[in-house]
A and B are shown apart, each in its own frame.
Chain A
Amino acid sequence: MTYSFLQHYWCFVVALLGAILVFLLFVQGANSVAGSLGYTEQGRRLVYNSTGRKWEFTFTTLVTFGGAFFASYPLFYSTSFGGAYWLWMLILFTFVLQAVSYEFQNKIGNFLGPRTFQFCLTLNGILGPLLLGGAVATFFEGSNFIIQKDNLLNTGAADQLSTFNFQLSISSWANASHGLDALLNPWVLVFGFAVFFLARTLGILYVMNNVDDEDIRSRGSVRLIGAAVPFLILFVAYLVHLLLKDGYAYDPATGLIFMEPYKYLHNLLDMWYLLIILLIGVVLVLYGIAIEIFGRPNFQLSFFNSQLNQGIWPAGIGTVLTVLALLLCSAWNNTAYYPSTADLQSSLTMQNSCSSEFTLRTMFYVSLLVPFVLAYIIYCWRTIDKKKITSEEISNAHHAY
């Protein structure tokens, strides 16, 4: 195993975690539309109980995504989290609120009332995917930071350490907005909203699969159009923009970063296997959506009809493949995956931001546990979901939200 292989391998692991995270954002997506999807008090409860059995997977994947990024690309971790402070803090706040909302909302003694925590779930359902999508878009659009490692040796600052003036900071944001500036870039917003509508689409598909309630399922097929259409428009718009835009390329011989026209188009053509994965992913997402729209009785399309309520699976796998291909396109093939718009040479590449070869190799062995972890997750998931959720089950359950 060479250092370069390990760098590519860990980029793949982090990208895969990111891709699975986007799929698992169906929890947020369903919560963002729980009011209209559930419609009645009992209907809403069904939706929350459905996502409530999965929210910890999303949460854990987010935490592990952060941990894996820290272990494999610590300079990204220190630069992005320390720089885009407000963007990440907003994301975290909404996830903190979500984490307690399920357990607390309907418990006696919740003096804030169930509506408060349902509002928190909706807030996280909207802002979580939107801001996470925005953060991912900066992998292509760039961020406003500067890296100067020698700052840590700024002894002038050390002499005045008690009035610490940040001259020691390795990574700095080039403006005072600390990450919120990303939301001023319309393409970041386009991508953020695309992720939001994708999460909502997946959320509706998931609930239609997981909840055995015809009212919710028929409402879901209508709401699905309202989520899937904007998603497709925004996604296609961003994809076209991405393929046409200049990208941040890296010269391995000199270590210099430079702008390359059509860089991401070139990446997909050079790494044709990513293009195939991307196309398969997109087709699967479309297929998953089509099942639930055209499979309903009013369309009478028996091909889709036979797979009714199963749309989440092709759409989910398609999401993982699509996001994986896009994330790898942002980093592989000598590309700067976290570009700096303030100082081009501060941009982060796999090579200049990764952990040492020893750490990456050690973590490689740890990552061999991942298939085992995935296997028990799938087993438990299937066991719990064998029987679909019904109103009766929630009423009689030992543990319900």
Chain B
Amino acid sequence: MTTIISLLQTALPLEGESGGGLPAAIDWARAQFALTAIYHWLFVPLTLGLGLIMSIMETKYYRTGDAFWRKTAQFWQRLFGINFAMGVATGIILEFEFGTNWSNYSWFVGDIFGAPLAIEGIVAFFMESTFVAVMYFGWEKVSRGFHLASTWLTWLGATISAWWILVANSWMQYPVGCEFNPDTMRNEMTSFLDVALSPFAIDKFCHTVTSAWVIGGVFVVAVSAWYLLKKREAEREMALKSLRIGAIVGLIASILAAITGDESAYKVAEVQPMKLAAMEALYNGGEDQSLTAVAWVNPFKQPDYQNEEEAPLRLAIPNGLSILATRTLHGFVPGVNELLKGYTREDGTVEPSAKEKMERGRAAIAALVAYRQGKAEGADEASLNVQLSTLNENMPYFGYGYIKDEAELVPYIPINFWAFRIMVGLGTLFVLFFAYLLFLNWKKKGIFAPETFNFPLDLSRSTLGELSTFNSATLWLAIALVPCAYICSESGWLVAEFGRQPWTIQDMLPVGASVSNIGSSAVATTFWLFLALFTCLLAVEINIMLKQIKRGLES
């Protein structure tokens, strides 16, 4: 975590650097948002993933009436509760940060962006907070069916919440269903359905939520593995049965995450080609593009994309990128330089160069200035219409009017490149590992062999003997995958958010024009306060979680 933050602070080109080397308010605002979002995303995926698994377990209790499943569900719900509190605590900041740190942004697109946030509160948060209370305190107060419904509704509330916040996030990446109003100086919604059901949002939601289920699966498998490694008699049955459920959820989720991830990448290629170029370190594109498996991209330095042909030591899958981005074997994929210099697509349409977009953006801003001045001075309608038509003609490039140098349009390639690879690499590892666990379960081998843990429980047999190296390694690997799952998940966010720089809203508003008018010292102070506070709370949370796991069913 600290490494990521220090990367944000030190490795990135700072907006304020040319002004004297110190980070400006915009840098601190970005760092603070990144910090709080990264922390928040440490807890949300476990809420979504563990929520699903504990709901499945309680469903088993409801169907069978077996007290074992009640105890098991309650155990996982206790761990859920510890994590849930941190998710709530870190989440409130994010909602208000749009206003506190991104004041211009909040006005410029608040007409569109505010709605999903309000709906999230009304529809999702209340569902979550009401039914989580029934889940915690209702075991002896409500019927089994009502309690089960409350557990599922807690999970559903969290998932609906993810839907609306991802709708909001996707709109920033792919703004649809709106038009600019020069009189109010903001973008206004024209189609709620376009915003709420944007294909970009659907893909993002599916990919994000399934990746969260992977974390749930990894967590349950790891905790169960620890009990088995420690040969804990009291938790053995729970551990083996939980491990199996965790592995099933994990395998389904990691396969779904791979499929939805592929679809997300396809959408990125369509609407954010610069992000894809940065993810791939694709300096010069073209047809028949291969997909980079690995290459040497210096993690701490923006590469010389203008002069390098491609990243050094590159190993690639032939035509892989063309297939990923265009769904055709020979499809054209633009690289960073094509995107800056402009290019002609296969259908004959021309993508303007960055310079032309910047000129057109300035023309849009100039026309808007003239329109507003004319209106204030009572100019005639004909002259106002001239300005409006210039504005409308150049509006798709409005945000480029704020860009000073075309280099600003290239996201920081090293983070995008490496984070993408880490995400995909670890995601593949999860698919393999869960498949391997379920294979062992199917074949009744390894940790699932009857002789390993004397399972199904047979009291006539002796207690557990020594674990073989093979079984120990399997269980230790399961535990080692917990940090990997978090790194994988956070890497996904790094790609999503760093890849769209310099835009707060793609092509519409860059970060520099979105920020609040607060001095850098104020934002720096809150950045360090959040860092200290969240780190301290995280340490407490981890310690409580570990102690709770150690106590097991006894607790």
Interface residues of A (CB under 8 A from B): 53-54, 56-57, 59-60, 62-64, 66-68, 70-72, 74-75, 77-83, 85-86, 88-89, 92-93, 95-97, 99-100, 102-104, 107-112, 149-150, 152-153, 155, 158-164, 166, 168-173, 176, 178, 355-356, 358-359, 362-363, 366-367, 369-370, 373, 376-377, 380-381, 383-384, 386-387, 397-399
Contact = CB atoms under 8 A, between A and B. Distances in A.
Contacts of B24: 163-164
Contacts of B404: 158-162
B155 interface: no
Contacts of A376: 127, 130
A266 B144 CA distance: 56
Nearest to B373: A150
B107 to A, nearest CB: 4
Contact of B402 (A63, A112, A161): A161
Contact of B129 (A60, A82, A173, A387): A60
Interface string B286-325: 0000000000000000000000000000000000000000
Contact of B86 (A74, A100, A366): A100
Contacts of A92: 92-93, 96
Nearest to B402: A158
Interface string B499-527: 00000000000101101111100100010
24 contacts: A66-B96, A68-B118, A68-B121, A70-B114, A71-B115, A80-B99, A82-B102, A83-B517, A96-B89, A99-B85, A104-B544, A107-B544, A152-B513, A155-B369, A160-B404, A161-B402, A162-B512, A168-B402, A173-B518, A356-B181, A367-B122, A373-B122, A398-B74, A399-B81
Given A96-B90, A176-B519, A170 B15 contact: no
A172 B24 CA distance: 17
Interface residues of B, number: 110
Contacts of A107: 82, 544, 547-548
Contact of B101 (A70, A82, A86): A82
B98, B365, B372, B536: residue with the most chain A Cβ atoms closer than 10 Å? B98
A178 B525 CA distance: 13
Given A85-B522, A149-B107, A398-B74, 20 more contacts: A53-B137, A60-B125, A67-B122, A68-B121, A71-B117, A72-B114, A74-B106, A77-B99, A110-B540, A168-B513, A169-B104, A170-B185, A358-B188, A358-B192, A359-B189, A362-B192, A363-B119, A366-B122, A398-B140, A399-B78
Contacts of B106: 70, 74, 77-78, 81-82
B389 interface: no
Contacts of B26: 164
A367 B121 CA distance: 11
Given A74-B110, A81-B106, A150 B372 contact: yes
Nearest to B108: A152
**B interface: dominant SS:** helix
Nearest to A161: B512
B122 A153 contact: no
A149 B185 contact: yes
A15 B96 CA distance: 18
B514 to A, nearest CB: 9
A377 B126 contact: yes
A111 B540 contact: yes
B362 interface: yes
A340 B343 CA distance: 50
Nearest to B361: A158
Given A162-B18, A363-B115, A153 B139 contact: no
A63 B95 contact: yes
B139 A173 contact: no
A54 B133 CA distance: 8
Interface in B68-110: 74, 77-78, 81-82, 84-86, 88-93, 95-96, 98-108, 110
A111 B543 contact: yes
Contacts of A78: 99, 103-107, 110, 516
A235 B116 CA distance: 36
Contacts of B188: 355-356, 358-359
Nearest to B82: A103
A99 B129 CA distance: 12
B440 interface: no
A155 B362 contact: yes
B432 interface: no
A359 B107 contact: no
Contacts of A162: 15-19, 404, 512
A384 B138 contact: yes
A367 B146 CA distance: 26
A56 B477 CA distance: 37
Nearest to B536: A112
Contacts of B101: 82
A370 B122 contact: yes
A359 B189 CA distance: 6
